[in-house]
Amino acid sequence: PARDPDPSVYLALRLAGDHDLREEERYLGRLRDAFQHRYGRSAEVEWPETGRLALYLLGLRATCPPLEHVYQRSLVTWLKYYLEEDWSGSRQHGHPLTSYYQYGLGVLALCVHRKRVREEVIRRLLVAEHHGKFGYSNSSAMDTEAVAALAFACLEREKLVGTGLAAELRAATRRGRKRMIEAQSEDGFFGNVYSTPWALQVFIATNACRTHSAYGRAMAALLENLDAFTTTATMAQALPALHGRSYLDISSMHCEEE
């Protein structure tokens, strides 16, 4: 059977420098079929799919021409619901039911859609960052660190929070970037070869590429090890950074440029 389409693949195609619009439209059609079936009117989802839905919403924000708002509004509502359901796990387990990585993707997707996020939702992620809780799950701590930093940077950039919280988010983004630099290995990677593209997105999104030599070292290491990216999913993870783009660029894409 054919694999379910991966929203991160569509995102990588949209953030690339060159476009095959027909192929992108075909892949988007597959995504819409998969998600409309999943989130129809009678949808019943037993477990939060925070990360996957967040990536799909990021993809929808990058479409050209933009999709109708009614369809997106329903999915935004689902994502907000997931963020609350996800957090219910923290009362029992001390962390989201899915992971801080998926939770951070959810916050990032809402921000890129310029949807206001409840301060409590943001603070949950801030507290986790402040207390070093991103390393508990199976997903790489570096990936989680990067996703959270992108979410924080987005919320500040889009002016979706007050000045006090914006200052906290700015400080958290800097702390995350500092930890990445401190964790950079001798061969130049942030974490490992697969985590490095996520970390590079943080430097790109915060305009820190030229001010930190760590970025150049990591990009050089990535370019020397592209043969490690052998699956569609891992290639999709690497492509945005290789094109000098981050997921924050989605909110300012212009169709006429294509």
Q: What DSSP assignment string belongs to 192-203? A: STTTHHHHHHHH
Copy the structure tokens of residue 163.
């000045």
102 is in an annotated binding site: yes
pLDDT of res. 136: 52
For the chain, the straight-line distance linking the first and the last C-alpha, in angstroms and rounded, comes to 34
At 223, the pLDDT band (50, 70, 90 cuts) reads: very high
Domains and CATH numbers, the chain: 7-252 (1.50.10.20)
The total of other beta-carbon atoms located within 10 Å of residue 143's CB is 26
Mean pLDDT of 90-106: 85
**In the prediction, which pLDDT does 90 show?**
67
98 is in an annotated binding site: yes
What was the pLDDT predicted at 27?
94
Side-chain half-sphere of 157: how many Cα atoms within 13 Å?
Answer: 20
Query: Mean pLDDT throughout 58-84?
Result: 84
Q: Which pLDDT belongs to residue 73?
A: 84
For 166-206, the pLDDT digits (tens) are 999 999 999 999 999 999 999 999 999 999 999 999 999 99
pLDDT at 85: 87
Distance between CA atoms of 58 and 111, rounded to whole angstroms? 10
Three-class SS state of 220: helix
Confidence check: pLDDT of 93 > 90:
no
- pLDDT tens figures, 48-62: 789 999 999 999 999
- The confidence score (pLDDT) of residue 1 equals 46
Residue range 240-255: average pLDDT? Answer: 90
Nearest Cα residue to 144 out of 213, 202, 225, 81: 202
| Residue 101 marked ligand-binding | yes
Of 12, 90, 86, nearest to 50 by C-alpha is 86
56 annotated as a binding-site residue: no
- Which pTM value belongs to this model? 0.92
Residue 206 annotated as binding? no
d(CA 149, CA 47): 26
Per cent of the chain over pLDDT 90 is 66
Distance, in Å, from the CA atom of 195 to the CA atom of 149, rounded to the nearest integer, reads 14
Q: Please tell me the predicted confidence (pLDDT) of residue 74.
A: 85
Does position 113 have pLDDT exceeding 90, yes or no? yes
Between 151 and 97, residue with greater pLDDT: 151
pLDDT on residue 257 = 58
Q: Per-residue pLDDT for 138 more than 50?
A: no
| pLDDT confidence band for 72 (50 / 70 / 90) | confident
* 100 assigned to a ligand binding site: yes
Q: Hey, how many other C-beta atoms are within 10 angstroms of the C-beta on 212? A: 17
Enter the tokens of residue 186: 């001798």
230 is in an annotated binding site: no
Tell me which amino acid residue 115 is: K
CA pair distance 51, 91, nearest whole angstrom: 20
Mean pLDDT calculated for residue range 105-119: 94
Mean per-residue pLDDT over the chain, rounded: 89
